[in-house]
Amino acid sequence: MIRSLRDRALTVPRRNRFGDIVWRVPTAGMLAGILKNPAYAGAFVYGRTQSCHARYASGKIISRRRPMAEWKIVVKDRYPAYLDWERYERIQIMLSDNHAEYKRNQTRGAPRDGAAVLQGIVWCGRCGHKMGVEYKNGNRYVCNFLARSQGGALCQHLPADPIDACVVEAFFAAVNPAELAELMLAKDARQQADEAFDRAEEQQIKRLRYQALLAERQYDRVDPDNRLIAAELERRWEGALRELRQAEDAFERRRAMQNQSDDLTPAEQNDFIAAGSQLPEFWQRSDIEWGRK
């Protein structure tokens, strides 16, 4: 996402310390802020953060974000919405999942060799806790959550290899006929995203054009005797024109590139299907590096 924005030199609106809107090169933090901001889903929310009584030595108050369920006031349909509330909630879940994933990767330790393909995604059927992987006497999935937290006995452990084999088989069976359709869907989604970026780029060009016009008018109105101000306004006008031209050129170049079609030919589609049916065979071969963890 951030790469797409930067590739297209798209900027995002921010408020500066005077409360004016300025357009800035996006950072990951800014995008996360936009994704988490309920105003984009049209809602007015009060009480998203909670200040603790403690303060930093600098005098700054420590605040933490409350989970959505603890927000004090939520008034939906307050602003024009860019996305509906359900979609907003889904995005919040995705963000917190990504964060959990990140934290788990931080704490899971160095990945070890061995298949155990379900590492981190297998839950115990008996007690419902997440199972870990142990590498003694071959790989095995272990449910030791209760044992660790309450000091009881191990809930259960199962050898990993036969389970992995079943899951891999089921995975290939499910994925095989669906692959091409999925690829097409992914292409459609990609195209829709590209179109959205195109619209954003067009809007940005409009904005730059308006700014250049404004700068031109300001320059026209200045008293020519007032040389210092005239020179400064001329400099601003030229700068605005330069920015506009760069944005227009970049947009045209991208348009030209996009028009080169990248649709799969029927022959390529057949190749793709054939490759898909060989995947299980490749999977069994040990001489290929799969990047397994």
Residues at the contact surface with Zn ion, assessed by CB under 5 A:
124, 126-127, 143, 155
CB of 133 to Zn ion, least distance (A): 14
Residue 156 near residue 145, CB atoms below 8 Å: no
**How many Å apart are CA 242 and CA 231, to the nearest integer?**
16
**CA angle in degrees (0–180, nearest 5) for 145-150-156:** 40
CB of 126 to Zn ion, least distance (A): 4
CB of 131 to Zn ion, least distance (A): 7
* Tokens of residue 163, six digits: 């389970």
CB of 116 to Zn ion, least distance (A): 17
Residues in the chain: 293
Cβ proximity to Zn ion: between 13 and 128 the closer is 128
SS3 content of the chain, % helix, strand, coil (to 5): 55, 15, 30
CB of 144 to Zn ion, least distance (A): 8
CB of 152 to Zn ion, least distance (A): 10
Residues 49, 50, 53, 56, Cα dihedral to 10°: -20
Cβ proximity to Zn ion: between 38 and 132 the closer is 132
Query: What end-to-end distance do the CA atoms of the chain give, in Å?
Result: 26
* Residue reference for tokens 């793709």: 272
**How many Å apart are CA 84 and CA 40, to the nearest integer?**
9
* Tokens of residue 118, six digits: 């379900």
| DSSP secondary structure code for residue 23 in this structure | E
Cβ proximity to Zn ion: between 45 and 160 the closer is 160
**CA angle in degrees (0–180, nearest 5) for 161-165-166:** 120
Cβ proximity to Zn ion: between 43 and 155 the closer is 155
Cβ proximity to Zn ion: between 66 and 129 the closer is 129
CB of 148 to Zn ion, least distance (A): 11
DSSP-H helix ranges across 77-221: 85-107, 145-150, 160-221
**How many Å apart are CA 201 and CA 258, to the nearest integer?**
14
Cβ proximity to Zn ion: between 116 and 233 the closer is 116
